[in-house]
Amino acid sequence: MKYTQVMTKPRAKRLSFDGPGAYEIRVQGRIPASWSDRLEGMSITLAEPDGEPPETILAGELLDQAALTGVLNTLYDLRLPMLSVKRIDDEG
């Protein structure tokens, strides 16, 4: 069995499972802006790179990781390919 070492940057603070956090989620496909309420109030931005499939970028603060799971489950139910999920409030 082969193992790969993953290098991560040190975190200045300990992250909480049950606390708020700001996230950026990218999916391939289009989500109408009217779906913001169904996605925990996250802002919805459409990106259409030249010659590439459209991407939707969701950004905003979620109450906790349970809320994040709810958003991810909604995106899964919509059958939108997930491109990335990034916590953005702890960058500095």
CATH number at residue 63: 3.30.70.260
- Cβ atoms of residues 76 and 27 within 8 Å: no
The pLDDT score that the predictor gives to residue 53 is: 95
Total tally of structural domains belonging to the chain: 1
Domain around 76: 21-87
Q: Where residue 6 falls among pLDDT bands split at 50, 70, 90?
A: low
What is the end-to-end Cα distance of the chain in Å, rounded? 37
pLDDT at residue number 20? 92
- Report if residue 62 sits inside a domain: yes
Question: If pLDDT is split at 50, 70 and 90, which confidence band does 5 have?
Answer: low
73 is a domain residue: yes
Q: Return the structure tokens found at 87.
A: 């916590």
List pLDDT tens digits, range 9-39: 665 667 677 889 999 999 999 999 999 999 9
| 80 phi and psi angles, rounded to 5 deg | -95, 125
Is the residue at 15 inside a domain?
A: no
Q: What pLDDT was estimated at residue 39? A: 97
pTM metric for this prediction: 0.79
Question: Would you state the structure tokens that stand for residue 32, as one six-digit string?
Answer: 């109408």
For residue 89, the model assigns a pLDDT of 74
In this prediction, residue 49 has a pLDDT band, given cuts at 50, 70 and 90, of confident
Report if residue 9 sits inside a domain. no
